[in-house]
């Protein structure tokens, strides 16, 4: 997939940040953090502060397709992250932003608002196929490169008991589509086509393509990945 480009300066590096080159990750998702560590990319967290309404960015708009939705949300998050970096006078480095949604046909399944909503989503996914769309954006100064990766997943038919047990586990909370493929929901999956890491929330092939210079430099240096939090949540998958 070819990234789309749409069109802040270095400061003294605070103690505790990874050695350059590193990237800012504008996500609190532990899965995205683990996936970046898996490929050896150094990163620091650039999380939304309490004054930011991160949930408002994810509100659905009437008539939006799933692709339009994830593209709009990831670009809005990218702009917010760029402004956050400048406001906190943090060192310039690429900012990685991601947003994931699940779609059945043209119907978008976001994060369940409660257990009843999670049950509704799981019953809708039961015995049928759906798409998982993850939009990525990388901010480099005034430029934003972005793309959308799409995977297809087919669930087995779920019994009421399986749905109830899964909801009771608490795992659907905060997950797009009400499930986590890296968790207990893995047993529901009959087939996937696309990127397993993309279904988790961060397609690694596309991420590595967008961040090739930083990843190559880190690998050449032969250093272990480092993670540092920038004071202060944003998305779960």
99 is catalytic: yes
**For the whole model, what pTM was predicted?**
0.85
pLDDT band, very low/low/confident/very high, at 229 (cuts 50, 70, 90): low
pLDDT over 60 (residue 213): yes
Catalytic site residue from 53, 99, 117, 234: 99
pLDDT tens, 118-172? 999 999 999 999 999 999 999 999 999 999 999 999 999 999 999 999 999 999 9
Residue 159 is classified by DSSP as P
Q: Identify whether 21 is preceded by a cis peptide bond (ω within 30 of 0).
A: yes
pLDDT over 70 (residue 224): no
217 vs 66 pLDDT, higher one:
66
What CA–CA distances, in Å, run from 214 to 23, 40, 130, 217, 221? 8, 10, 33, 5, 11
pLDDT band, very low/low/confident/very high, at 9 (cuts 50, 70, 90): very low
pLDDT over 50 (residue 5): no
User: How high does pLDDT run on average in the chain?
Assistant: 88
Answer whether 74's CB lies under 8 Å from 135's CB.
Answer: yes
pLDDT score recorded for residue 167: 98
pLDDT over 50 (residue 7): no
pLDDT tens, 30-80? 999 999 999 999 999 999 998 888 788 888 899 999 999 999 999 999 999
The DSSP secondary structure of 19-67, one letter per residue, reads PSS-EEE----HHHHHHHHHTT--EEEEPPPTTS-HHHHT---TT--HH
220 vs 87 pLDDT, higher one:
87
pLDDT band, very low/low/confident/very high, at 234 (cuts 50, 70, 90): very low
């Amino acid at each position: 997939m070819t990234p789309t480009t749409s069109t802040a300066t270095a400061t003294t590096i605070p103690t505790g940040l990874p050695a350059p080159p590193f990237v800012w990750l504008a996500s609190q998702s532990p899965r995205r953090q683990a996936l970046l560590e898996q490929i050896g990319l150094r990163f620091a967290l650039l999380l939304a502060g309490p004054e930011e309404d991160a949930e408002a960015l994810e509100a659905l708009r009437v008539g939006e397709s799933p692709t339009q939705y994830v593209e709009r949300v990831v670009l809005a998050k990218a702009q917010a992250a760029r402004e956050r970096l400048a406001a906190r006078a943090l060192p310039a480095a690429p900012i990685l932003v991601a947003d994931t949604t699940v779609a059945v046909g043209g119907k978008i399944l976001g994060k369940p608002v409660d257990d009843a909503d999670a049950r509704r989503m799981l019953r809708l996914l039961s015995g049928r196929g759906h798409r998982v769309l993850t939009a990525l954006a990388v901010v480099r100064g005034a430029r934003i490169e972005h793309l959308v990766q799409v995977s297809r997943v087919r669930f087995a038919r779920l019994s009421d008991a399986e749905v109830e047990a899964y909801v009771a586990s608490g795992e659907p909370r905060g997950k797009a589509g009400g499930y986590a493929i890296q968790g207990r929901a893995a047993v529901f999956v009959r087939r996937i086509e696309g990127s397993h890491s993309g279904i988790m929330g961060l397609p690694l092939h596309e991420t590595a393509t967008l961040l090739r210079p930083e990843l190559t430099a880190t690998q050449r240096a032969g250093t272990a990945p480092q993670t540092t939090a920038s004071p202060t949540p944003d998305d779960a998958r």
